[in-house]
Structure 1
Amino acid sequence: MMEAKFAKKDKPYGKAEFDKFLGEYDAISDVPMVLFADELIEAYPNTKVILSMRDASKWASSMQESIWLVHSWSTWDIIAPFHTLISLWRKCDTMDWDCFINSSPERPSMKPKRRDYQTDKYRALAIQRFHEHNDHIRKSVPKENLLEFQPQSGWKPLCDFLGHEVPNEEYPRAWDKEALVTAATQMWWFGIATVLVKLGIPFAVAVGVCWWAFKVLA
């Protein structure tokens, strides 16, 4: 899906393709689907769109302390070949950011790859893309189908927009930057352990063979 749109390697996705894996769901969010806003709006023209709003500078600072921080750990490229799931996560998530940073709504592209996540230049470009995305959604979605939502507003505007009753509980807050970095750190250590095991076993076997050969031939 990503390569079909951003690398032109396959047929672009339309309603038939989206229905195959979105048909059982009532809502979608986050990457990579946010990168397919135009295609999804065209496929489902009557859908309701919630545009999460926040201060762009604070968003960039949060990203620098969480997702961009995690992806700036260059050792992932050493770990990834030894663990399939880590390799898949690393490839997909960095591809998401390459497509977001290197693209505009009018010029979708995933090249060139960027790994300068912690630089001022990356931050400035991300903020620019942040504003471009929001402006593009405002222009693309009919006003009656769009809610510009700020989480600090709580349940009411969200429930009013979706036609649901307000739950009798606090609006949730989860997966903050500290939790994300903690989870990534645990995954990193698991990856390191996998590397040590996969490299250690052949090494131990080689040592054992050498010891056996020395004993037999001595």
Structure 2
Amino acid sequence: MKDTESVLAQTNIDRRTCSRIEPMQVLVLGLCRTGTLSTYLALQTLGYPTYHMTSIMQNPSDAQLWTSALLGKHHPSPANPPFTLAQWDALLGHVSATTDIPAALFPEELTTCYPDAKVILTLRDPSAWMTSMQNTIMKQTYSPLATFLGWLDPAHFGAGNRMCRLAFDHLFDGDFERNGERAFAEHYERVRRVVPRENLLEWNPKEGWGPLCEFLGREVPDTEFPRANEKEVFARKARRVAWGCLGGGVEGAQGVVVVGVVGWC
């Protein structure tokens, strides 16, 4: 699928030197594993250049900026103050929409900086979400293999993995199994508190184009709603990233090396 393939391309842009060139119009603040990649592809189809976790895989240096944003939020200091509007514009100025983590972890900051943006909460049953997270993202983010690949490639894979661990350590207070479902509920309630009801769509991607297009004021496309296999896309990207960390080789063989890894997070 061409749109999915575009997720896997890689660039090397230092966004610290960038500024806003697209108006921010849509903030999707639901957590990962709630259909965020399908939402990313849907927003792209509707004409919104969109930021997703895979955008960091596409431009690995972004991970350092997200780490600074997380430190500024949770451990502000003279070295890492909270992000300013100018910094958010530098990091996200090339897109008009965001979805997935790490952007979703900044509901107060992004809705304050972009008060005119429409906000969407992607929904999922909390129990199913817990199971999905445990079997995919949490397992891989904290795996020995991810640690090893981070050691081999600290500037790229390592920076992305450290960023994910920092984000999840704060989100789940260091214990996903004990605190995951509570953190999920608290995140969604926090978004509901900070976003005016008339500017918020609570939506399950399984509902398809109708509610999304009505909320955004866009015509329903003459195409099926994208149903992206997030695990598959992340796994394919992980093979490419791991291959780079290991210095190349046969793709079939490297697939064995990265069993159980679906990217940085």
TM-score, scaled to structure 2: 0.61
Equivalent residue in structure 1 for 2:123, among 41, 48, 53 = 53
The 5-angstrom pairing of residues 2-17 of structure 1 reads 2-9=70-77, 10-17=80-87
In structure 1, what residue type is equivalent to 2:159?
Answer: L
Equivalent residue in structure 2 for 1:127, among 156, 177, 181 = 181
8 A Cα contact 1:79 1:195, kept in partner:
no
Gap change, CA 1:65 and 1:38, over 3 Å in 2: same
Deviation at 1:24, TM superposition (A): 3.1
Deviation at 1:3, TM superposition (A): 1.2
Q: For residue 88 of structure 1, what is the aligned residue in structure 2?
A: 159
Deviation at 1:20, TM superposition (A): 2.7
Give the 4+ runs in structure 1 shifted more than 6 A: none
Structure 1: runs of 5+ lacking an equivalent:
103-113, 115-120, 197-218
Gap change, CA 1:76 and 1:52, over 3 Å in 2: same
- 1:97 and 2:165 equivalent? no
8 A Cα contact 1:51 1:148, kept in partner:
yes
Separation (CA, whole Å) in 2 of partners of 1:87 and 1:195: 17
Gap change, CA 1:183 and 1:64, over 3 Å in 2: farther
- 1:37 and 2:78 equivalent? no
Q: For residue 88 of structure 2, what is the aligned residue in structure 1?
A: 18
Root mean square deviation of aligned Cα: 2.2
In structure 2, what residue type is equivalent to 1:88?
Answer: A
Aligned residue-pair number: 178
Separation (CA, whole Å) in 2 of partners of 1:143 and 1:89: 34
Deviation at 1:77, TM superposition (A): 2.1
In structure 2, what residue type is equivalent to 1:35?
Answer: L
Q: Percent identity?
A: 33
Separation (CA, whole Å) in 1 of partners of 2:226 and 2:134: 23
